[in-house]
Amino acid sequence: MITGKTAVVGIMGDPVQHSLSPPMHNAAFKHLKMDYIYVPFQVRPENLASAIAGARSMGIKGLNITIPHKREVIKYLDEIGQAAQLIGAVNTLKFRKNTLTGFNTDGLGAVKAIEEVTPVKGKKIIIIGAGGAARAVSFQSLLAGAGEVLIANRTLENACKLTDDLGQNFATSVGCLGLDDKLVEELKDTDVLINTTPVGMHPHEDQKPIVTSSMMHRDLVVNDIVYNPLKTGLIREAEKAGAKTINGTRMLIYQGMESFRIWTGINPPFKVFEEAIMKGLGYVS
Ligand code: ATR
């Protein structure tokens, strides 16, 4: 029941109608019998400043920030976490008395998903794509101690721009490549492959994956951050090659769990988040 004491958290973005975060967090609050509610706020770009000021004055405890505000919101913060600073994007806000702090849990979500299967420390990782998601995942992989990170992208220039930024912040070996024979060669001794592009995402399930089974090996761990469909073309190819697979719901669950922990100090149950996502996606009733 919502009372005068109920704490409010939520998500700010445009659009927000299809976000899976409200069912996920509300399921956990209910399960843990916590007096919190998570609500969606659709905020247009021109209203971001007033929305943040409003959230501060209304005593909102925390927010997730999504497209198109993840970069823009930084200018309204009092403090920023290390990963968010490096990535240059924020997906979680924590409001305290006079301090608004921004965090990024997207990359951490991906690293935690991979670490269900293998530790990232010392590993050779190839990330396909060079957009916002690739940026979060690559910086966080380096923060987690990856041994080598390669960015493979359709537009080589975009991959190299990202590796320049990575190289300026870490001494770890980083490199950029196109989606060509060089990628096939590099895959031979790679430990982890992460797709951050929308290739294979609904309604384009039939799109040919960028990496196919003949380019993979049995010890490779393959993570597709696309979660609709659950089994993307890339995940099917990985299964064919006998590689270990991680579907896109994992990153979504772990980034949400981390935000929940930032707001409440409580570690939410994975299973409750997972069940809410699977229901939200229509995979279970
Ligand atoms: P996000 O913020 O979700 O990461 P984005 O910033 O739009 O999304 O980035 C999308 C990434 O997917 C880009 O790296 C893009 O490649 P380009 O830099 O060449 O544009 C990549 N991408 C999108 N569609 C693709 C496709 N059909 N084949 C290969 N790469 C694709």
What are the pLDDT digits (tens) for 153-189? Answer: 999 999 999 999 999 999 999 999 999 999 999 999 9
Q: Give the per-residue pLDDT at 87.
A: 98
> Considering only CA atoms, which residue is closest to atom 23 of ligand 1?
197
b/e 89-111 (16+ beta carbons within 10 angstroms → b): bbbbbbbeeeebbbbbbbbbbbb
Ligand 1 atom index nearest CA of 133: 4
Q: Give the per-residue pLDDT at 285.
A: 80
Average pLDDT over residues 103-129: 98
Q: Give the per-residue pLDDT at 187.
A: 98
Contact status, residue 211 vs residue 188, Cβ threshold 8 Å: no
Mean pLDDT of the chain: 98
Q: Give the per-residue pLDDT at 275.
A: 98
Instruction: Output the pTM of the full model.
Output: 0.97
The structure tokens listed for 117 are 């299967």
Q: 36 has which bridge partners? A: 7
66 Cα: distance to centroid of ligand 1 (angstroms): 17
The structure tokens listed for 105 are 């849990």
Contact status, residue 83 vs residue 107, Cβ threshold 8 Å: yes
Q: Which of 155, 156, 176, 197 to mutate to test the pocket of ligand 1 (most atoms within 8 A of CB)?
A: 197
155 Cα: distance to centroid of ligand 1 (angstroms): 9
Q: Give the per-residue pLDDT at 116.
A: 96
> Considering only CA atoms, which residue is closest to atom 20 of ligand 1?
155
The three-point CA angle 8-10-12 to 5° equals: 135
- C-beta of 196 in contact with ligand 1 (< 6 A): yes
Ligand 1 atom index nearest CA of 135: 4
Taking the CA atoms of residue 63, residue 64, residue 66 and residue 71 in that order, the dihedral angle to the nearest 10 degrees is 70
pLDDT tens digits, residue range 191-228? 999 999 999 999 999 999 999 999 999 999 999 999 99
Q: Give the per-residue pLDDT at 117.
A: 97
Q: Which domains does the chain have, with CATH numbers?
A: 7-104+251-280 (3.40.50.10860), 107-246 (3.40.50.720)
Q: Which of 3, 36, 98, 99 is nearest to 259 (CA)?
A: 36
**Percent of the chain residues topping a pLDDT of 70:** 100
pLDDT tens digits, residue range 46-102? 999 999 999 999 999 999 999 999 999 999 999 999 999 999 999 999 999 999 999
Q: Which of 129, 133, 134, 126 is nearest to 156 (CA)?
A: 129
Report the catalytic residues.
70
**Percent of the chain residues topping a pLDDT of 90:** 99
- C-beta of 267 in contact with ligand 1 (< 6 A): no
Q: Give the per-residue pLDDT at 236.
A: 98
In this structure, the number of other CB atoms found within 10 A of the CB of residue 163 comes to 20
Q: Does the structure show a pLDDT above 90 at 284?
A: no
